[in-house]
A and B are shown apart, each in its own frame.
Chain A
Protein backbone atom coordinates (compact mmCIF):
# COMPACT_ATOMS: atom_id res chain seq x y z
CA UNK A 1 0.00 0.00 0.00
CA UNK A 2 1.32 3.39 -0.96
CA UNK A 3 2.09 5.72 1.94
CA UNK A 4 0.14 8.59 0.41
CA UNK A 5 -2.96 7.86 -1.64
CA UNK A 6 -4.94 10.17 -3.86
CA UNK A 7 -7.78 9.72 -6.29
CA UNK A 8 -5.94 10.08 -9.63
CA UNK A 9 -9.01 11.52 -11.34
CA UNK A 10 -9.17 12.98 -13.89
CA UNK A 11 -11.55 15.61 -12.62
CA UNK A 12 -13.16 17.53 -15.47
CA UNK A 13 -15.12 20.52 -14.22
CA UNK A 14 -16.62 23.66 -15.78
CA UNK A 15 -15.28 27.09 -14.97
CA UNK A 16 -16.71 28.41 -11.75
CA UNK A 17 -17.23 24.98 -10.22
CA UNK A 18 -16.07 23.96 -6.78
CA UNK A 19 -13.90 20.86 -6.67
CA UNK A 20 -12.43 18.92 -3.76
CA UNK A 21 -9.47 16.57 -3.67
CA UNK A 22 -8.78 14.09 -0.92
CA UNK A 23 -5.64 12.40 0.24
CA UNK A 24 -4.93 9.81 2.91
CA UNK A 25 -1.59 8.94 4.48
CA UNK A 26 -0.53 5.84 6.33
CA UNK A 27 2.12 7.05 8.78
CA UNK A 28 0.48 8.54 11.84
CA UNK A 29 3.82 10.07 12.85
CA UNK A 30 3.88 12.30 9.78
CA UNK A 31 4.81 15.81 10.68
CA UNK A 32 3.85 18.24 7.96
CA UNK A 33 1.61 18.27 4.96
CA UNK A 34 1.50 20.17 1.72
CA UNK A 35 -0.31 20.51 -1.55
CA UNK A 36 1.87 21.02 -4.61
CA UNK A 37 0.70 21.87 -8.08
CA UNK A 38 2.44 20.42 -11.11
CA UNK A 39 1.84 21.57 -14.66
CA UNK A 40 2.63 19.21 -17.51
CA UNK A 41 6.39 18.72 -17.86
CA UNK A 42 7.14 21.29 -15.17
CA UNK A 43 8.41 21.04 -11.62
CA UNK A 44 6.07 20.69 -8.64
CA UNK A 45 5.35 24.08 -7.08
CA UNK A 46 4.20 24.58 -3.54
CA UNK A 47 0.55 25.56 -3.47
CA UNK A 48 0.01 25.64 0.26
CA UNK A 49 0.92 24.01 3.54
CA UNK A 50 -1.81 22.23 5.44
CA UNK A 51 -2.43 22.85 9.12
CA UNK A 52 -4.68 21.12 11.62
CA UNK A 53 -6.66 24.29 12.04
CA UNK A 54 -7.29 24.46 8.30
CA UNK A 55 -6.02 27.26 6.15
CA UNK A 56 -7.29 29.31 3.29
CA UNK A 57 -5.53 31.18 0.51
CA UNK A 58 -7.95 32.96 -1.76
CA UNK A 59 -10.01 30.35 -3.57
CA UNK A 60 -8.06 27.48 -2.03
CA UNK A 61 -8.80 25.86 1.31
CA UNK A 62 -6.77 23.03 2.81
CA UNK A 63 -7.74 20.91 5.77
CA UNK A 64 -5.98 18.25 7.81
CA UNK A 65 -7.62 15.61 9.95
CA UNK A 66 -4.90 13.86 11.92
CA UNK A 67 -7.27 11.40 13.58
CA UNK A 68 -8.43 10.12 10.20
CA UNK A 69 -5.05 10.73 8.52
CA UNK A 70 -6.76 12.66 5.81
CA UNK A 71 -5.95 15.86 3.92
CA UNK A 72 -8.20 17.79 1.60
CA UNK A 73 -7.95 20.63 -0.88
CA UNK A 74 -10.98 22.64 -1.94
CA UNK A 75 -10.89 24.92 -4.96
CA UNK A 76 -13.74 27.36 -5.34
CA UNK A 77 -14.72 29.25 -8.48
CA UNK A 78 -12.40 27.16 -10.67
CA UNK A 79 -10.44 28.99 -13.36
CA UNK A 80 -9.07 27.60 -16.60
CA UNK A 81 -5.59 28.27 -15.17
CA UNK A 82 -6.27 25.86 -12.30
CA UNK A 83 -5.90 22.95 -14.74
CA UNK A 84 -2.94 20.97 -13.46
CA UNK A 85 -2.01 17.94 -11.40
CA UNK A 86 -2.32 18.43 -7.65
CA UNK A 87 0.13 16.45 -5.53
CA UNK A 88 -0.50 15.67 -1.90
CA UNK A 89 2.81 15.58 -0.04
CA UNK A 90 3.46 14.29 3.47
CA UNK A 91 6.70 14.92 5.31
CA UNK A 92 7.42 11.96 7.56
CA UNK A 93 10.64 13.37 8.89
CA UNK A 94 13.07 16.04 7.83
CA UNK A 95 14.28 14.34 4.70
CA UNK A 96 11.38 12.11 3.82
CA UNK A 97 8.76 13.75 1.64
CA UNK A 98 6.22 11.25 0.37
CA UNK A 99 4.25 12.16 -2.71
CA UNK A 100 0.83 11.02 -3.71
CA UNK A 101 0.41 10.03 -7.34
CA UNK A 102 -1.39 13.29 -8.04
CA UNK A 103 -4.91 14.21 -9.05
CA UNK A 104 -5.36 15.58 -12.54
CA UNK A 105 -7.77 18.52 -12.82
CA UNK A 106 -9.05 19.97 -16.08
CA UNK A 107 -11.20 23.06 -15.94
CA UNK A 108 -13.24 23.60 -19.10
CA UNK A 109 -14.86 26.77 -20.43
Chain B
Protein backbone atom coordinates (compact mmCIF):
# COMPACT_ATOMS: atom_id res chain seq x y z
CA UNK B 1 0.00 0.00 0.00
CA UNK B 2 1.19 3.52 -0.72
CA UNK B 3 2.68 5.36 2.24
CA UNK B 4 3.62 8.91 3.06
CA UNK B 5 6.70 10.00 1.13
CA UNK B 6 9.15 12.55 2.43
CA UNK B 7 12.14 14.08 0.75
CA UNK B 8 14.95 14.45 1.26
CA UNK B 9 15.59 11.73 3.82
CA UNK B 10 18.73 13.45 5.09
CA UNK B 11 19.77 17.08 4.90
CA UNK B 12 22.81 18.88 6.23
CA UNK B 13 22.74 22.66 6.40
CA UNK B 14 24.79 25.37 8.03
CA UNK B 15 23.53 27.92 10.51
CA UNK B 16 21.51 30.73 8.95
CA UNK B 17 20.84 28.73 5.79
CA UNK B 18 17.38 27.76 4.56
CA UNK B 19 15.87 24.33 4.02
CA UNK B 20 12.77 23.01 2.32
CA UNK B 21 11.27 19.67 3.28
CA UNK B 22 8.67 17.97 1.13
CA UNK B 23 5.83 15.62 2.00
CA UNK B 24 3.59 13.60 -0.29
CA UNK B 25 0.58 12.23 1.61
CA UNK B 26 -1.11 8.91 1.06
CA UNK B 27 -3.41 9.17 -1.98
CA UNK B 28 -6.87 10.52 -1.10
CA UNK B 29 -5.69 11.78 2.29
CA UNK B 30 -6.79 15.39 2.71
CA UNK B 31 -4.89 16.38 5.85
CA UNK B 32 -1.17 16.77 6.36
CA UNK B 33 0.66 17.29 9.64
CA UNK B 34 4.23 18.25 10.39
CA UNK B 35 6.08 17.17 13.52
CA UNK B 36 9.53 17.84 14.88
CA UNK B 37 11.24 15.18 16.98
CA UNK B 38 14.43 16.11 18.79
CA UNK B 39 16.85 13.46 20.09
CA UNK B 40 15.19 11.40 22.80
CA UNK B 41 11.98 13.42 22.60
CA UNK B 42 8.45 12.67 21.51
CA UNK B 43 7.18 14.24 18.28
CA UNK B 44 6.08 17.85 18.72
CA UNK B 45 3.27 19.09 16.51
CA UNK B 46 4.23 22.01 14.27
CA UNK B 47 1.38 22.70 11.87
CA UNK B 48 -1.35 21.00 9.86
CA UNK B 49 -3.30 21.56 6.67
CA UNK B 50 -6.72 20.40 5.59
CA UNK B 51 -7.79 20.77 1.97
CA UNK B 52 -4.88 23.13 1.29
CA UNK B 53 -5.76 25.50 4.13
CA UNK B 54 -3.85 25.75 7.38
CA UNK B 55 -6.05 24.10 9.97
CA UNK B 56 -4.01 24.15 13.17
CA UNK B 57 -0.77 25.56 14.43
CA UNK B 58 1.44 24.15 17.14
CA UNK B 59 4.93 25.05 18.25
CA UNK B 60 6.17 26.17 14.85
CA UNK B 61 8.80 28.94 15.03
CA UNK B 62 8.17 32.13 13.09
CA UNK B 63 11.23 31.28 10.99
CA UNK B 64 9.34 28.31 9.57
CA UNK B 65 6.45 28.35 7.16
CA UNK B 66 4.52 25.67 5.36
CA UNK B 67 1.87 25.22 2.76
CA UNK B 68 -0.17 22.53 1.08
CA UNK B 69 -0.47 22.56 -2.68
CA UNK B 70 -3.28 21.68 -5.05
CA UNK B 71 -1.96 18.11 -5.39
CA UNK B 72 -2.05 17.86 -1.56
CA UNK B 73 1.69 17.65 -1.16
CA UNK B 74 3.11 19.94 1.49
CA UNK B 75 6.38 21.78 1.97
CA UNK B 76 7.95 22.99 5.19
CA UNK B 77 10.24 25.96 4.64
CA UNK B 78 12.80 26.70 7.32
CA UNK B 79 14.90 29.85 7.30
CA UNK B 80 17.73 31.24 9.43
CA UNK B 81 18.45 27.73 10.63
CA UNK B 82 19.78 27.31 14.14
CA UNK B 83 21.70 24.44 15.70
CA UNK B 84 18.60 23.61 17.75
CA UNK B 85 16.64 22.92 14.57
CA UNK B 86 18.57 19.69 14.13
CA UNK B 87 15.92 17.01 14.48
CA UNK B 88 13.81 14.45 12.68
CA UNK B 89 10.93 16.08 10.85
CA UNK B 90 7.98 13.81 10.29
CA UNK B 91 5.07 14.39 8.01
CA UNK B 92 1.85 12.49 8.62
CA UNK B 93 -1.37 12.32 6.66
CA UNK B 94 -4.93 11.34 7.39
CA UNK B 95 -8.37 11.51 5.90
CA UNK B 96 -11.05 13.45 7.74
CA UNK B 97 -13.77 10.84 7.82
CA UNK B 98 -14.55 8.57 10.71
CA UNK B 99 -11.64 7.92 13.00
CA UNK B 100 -8.77 10.28 12.32
CA UNK B 101 -5.68 8.11 12.24
CA UNK B 102 -2.38 9.64 11.22
CA UNK B 103 0.09 7.71 9.14
CA UNK B 104 3.66 8.89 9.35
CA UNK B 105 6.28 9.26 6.67
CA UNK B 106 9.85 8.02 7.20
CA UNK B 107 11.02 11.47 8.26
CA UNK B 108 13.72 13.87 7.14
CA UNK B 109 16.76 14.04 9.35
CA UNK B 110 17.99 17.63 9.39
CA UNK B 111 21.42 18.38 10.76
CA UNK B 112 22.42 22.01 11.21
CA UNK B 113 26.14 22.59 11.67
Chain A: residues with CB nearer than 8 A to chain B?
A: 32, 34, 41-46, 49, 87, 91, 94-102
Contact = CB atoms under 8 A, between A and B. Distances in A.
A32 B99 contact: yes
B27 interface: no
B64 interface: no
Interface size class of chain B, counting residues whose CB lies under 8 Å from the partner chain: 20 to 34
B31 to A, nearest CB: 7
A43 B104 contact: yes
Nearest to B107: A43
Contacts of A100: 42
A32 B104 contact: no
Contacts of B105: 43
Contacts of B50: 94-95
Contacts of A91: 100
Interface string B89-113: 0100000100111111111010000
A99 B102 CA distance: 12
B41 A96 contact: no
Given A42-B106, A43-B104, A49 B99 contact: yes
A102 B33 contact: no
